[in-house]
Every structure is written in structure tokens, then in C-alpha cells.
Amino acid sequence: MTYIINSYQEAFVEDQERVGKEVTKNWKSFEQSSVDQLRQVYSAPDFDPETRFYCFRDNELVGFLTSNIIKDVTPRKANLEFPLVLPAHEEAESLLFEKALDVLRGKGVKVVRTRVSKAWGKTYDMAQRWGYTFVEEQGVTYSADLTGVSIPESTGLDRVEEYDYQRDCQQMVDIFVKHYGMTPEQAQANFDALADAADQVISHVVIRKNGQITGRALALRYRNDPTRGHTGAFFVTDEKQRLPLVARIVKDCMAKRVTTLEAALFGDMLKDKDVISSMFESLGFVHQATISFYEKRI
């Protein structure tokens, strides 16, 4: 039988997670969304099922491609993640890509944007093959084998305290609204979700001054491997706060038998990449991956 491409149906999400996990199992700094996360995204009021593409052969899902149209941008753009396709079905990669472009063109999209990394399978090769051009770095990730890490006494760990939901949630909601452009409802939902995912939280810590939070950091376990954690959600009002926050996260990870910790630099952190990278390297982190935005006119 030939390959058949369908748009989203709710029945596809469990196979989507399975295929995504298999294709990306050796990728660095990437985790396939869970079934619950997929269902949450796909139940949003503005979700367009025609922008998700699923490739079948003999009634078996062998690959998929996800996209979404970016609101209020001229010319009209869409995020398009490169296809994730099982081995021995590489033909489906081009079929999914061309189908997605046809549908997006029909919706008025002029430019597609994607994330690319040499640590993410064939994404860099696909960008070259399909005529994308580099736009900018999106993030840089570092990784530490915590079995070989020691924390210097001079890192200021005594400045760092445990986050407390009852005491600190409203302050953090206000910070996320002011500094990250969230609505109060979005920020509240974020911290409520963290409270409900306590088993996934390795370390959630703050620095205070006169009772006010001036620094905050978070580390979470990867769902697929509880011995691995990731961090990157830092809020600092003084760059000197970053080292004690990271050191405390590392200490908490080691205490909870997490053996590998990944750290991401993104957004405003990239302008201070050299300084922050040196700080991570001082604690035993090594460069793992660079993720970049690439674009293509269609």
C-alpha cells in the first residue's frame, strides 16, 4: 500500500507520542510531548486540526508533522516542525513536508519557521535540503554528569531558600505578569500546575530581600527518565544570583538521585551567553546543543 496522510484526529495522539519517542530517543535537549500535553494543546479553542499531519502505511502511523499559524504577523507566518518519521519510512518525510506546505499556502502563509539543531536528528540536514536559511539562535543547552560535580563553598548557597506555594505564589504570579508578559490567569495556572506536579519538581528555590523574591529557579525531571533533569527557568535581578541558584539546584538534584542535569540558555539570557556559559562550565557543565530558528518563503 502507499502512504496516506490525514489531518488530526483525537484517536491519533497515543501513536503520535509513541512515534515521537522512538524517533527522538537519542536527541539531546528534547522531549516528546506526552499524551496529556498533546490533548491539552489540541483542545485549545484556537486549535486548527488541519495544521497537524499524520502519515500512515497499512493503517499504522509511521510519521507526523506539526505546525501552527502565528497570529498577527505580516507577512503571514507559521511554525512548522520538521517531520518525525520511523526508520524505513524516510519517503514519508517529503510527503508530509509537501502536504503541510500545500495546506499552509492555502491558508495564506508566506513564510514557515522551524527549530533546527545538529543534536536533533536530521533537522539540520532537512533545513539544507528544503532551502531554509538561518535567522537566529533560539537557545543553547549545557549538560552536567552530576556524579563528577562538586559545589564550591563560595557559591552562596546560604542565600537560597525553598519556594513555598502558600507564601510565594502570588509574588511569582506578579513577577511573571510584569517580566514575562503573561496574564494573571496564565501565570496562576503555571504555578498551580507546578504544585500539582510535585513528583516532577526536583528543585524550586528563591532568593529574598526584605521578604520580597528577587531571584528564582526551577528544575524538573524528564518524564521518560527520572534520573535526568532540566533547568533554565531563571528569574534574577542581579546576575550574581545565578550561581547560588544553579548550585542549589545541582545540590538538590544530587540529593534526589538525579545523575544528569541539562541547562538551557534562551531569550534575554543569550545576550550574556559568554558570561552565563562560563558560570555553568565552572560547575562542570559542557556544551550539548545549539537550537536555532530557520525560515523559508513558500
Above pLDDT 90, what percent of the chain?
A: 80
DSSP string covering 188-219: HHHHHHHHHTTTTEEEEEEEEETTEEEEEEEE
- Peptide bond before residue 75 is cis, with ω within 30 degrees of 0: yes
Pairing mode of beta strands 225-231, 260-266: parallel
Distance of CA 162 to the CA centre of its chain: 24
DSSP string covering 131-187: T-EEEEEEEEEEEEEGGG----GGG-GGG-EE--HHHHHHHHHHHHHHHH---HHHH
Q: What is the pLDDT of residues 180-233, one digit of tens each?
A: 989 999 999 999 999 998 889 999 999 999 999 999 999 999 887 899 999 988
DSSP 237: S
The set of residues, in sequence order, having a beta carbon less than 8 Å from that of 247 and lying 6+ positions away, is: 151, 152, 155, 156, 157, 160, 283
pTM to 2 decimal places = 0.79
Q: What is the pLDDT of residues 157-193, one digit of tens each?
A: 889 999 999 999 999 999 999 999 899 999 999 999 9
pLDDT of residue 1: 65
Domains defined along the chain, listed by start: 4-131 (3.40.630.30), 141-289 (3.40.630.30)
Mean pLDDT of 272-290: 90
CA distance 115 to 127: 9
The set of residues, in sequence order, having a beta carbon less than 8 Å from that of 250 and lying 6+ positions away, is: 144, 146, 149, 151, 261, 283
Cell numbers standing for residue 255: 540529593
DSSP 109: -
The set of residues, in sequence order, having a beta carbon less than 8 Å from that of 297 and lying 6+ positions away, is: 110, 111
CA distance 84 to 65: 6
CA distance 17 to 34: 6
pLDDT of residue 176: 96
Q: How buried is residue 84: exposed, middle or buried, by Cβ count under 10 Å (0-12/13-18/19+)?
A: buried
Q: What is the pLDDT of residues 123-165, one digit of tens each?
A: 999 999 999 999 999 999 999 999 877 787 777 888 999 999 9
Tell me the β-bridge partners of 162.
205
Q: Residue 54: pLDDT band by 50, 70, 90 thresholds?
A: very high
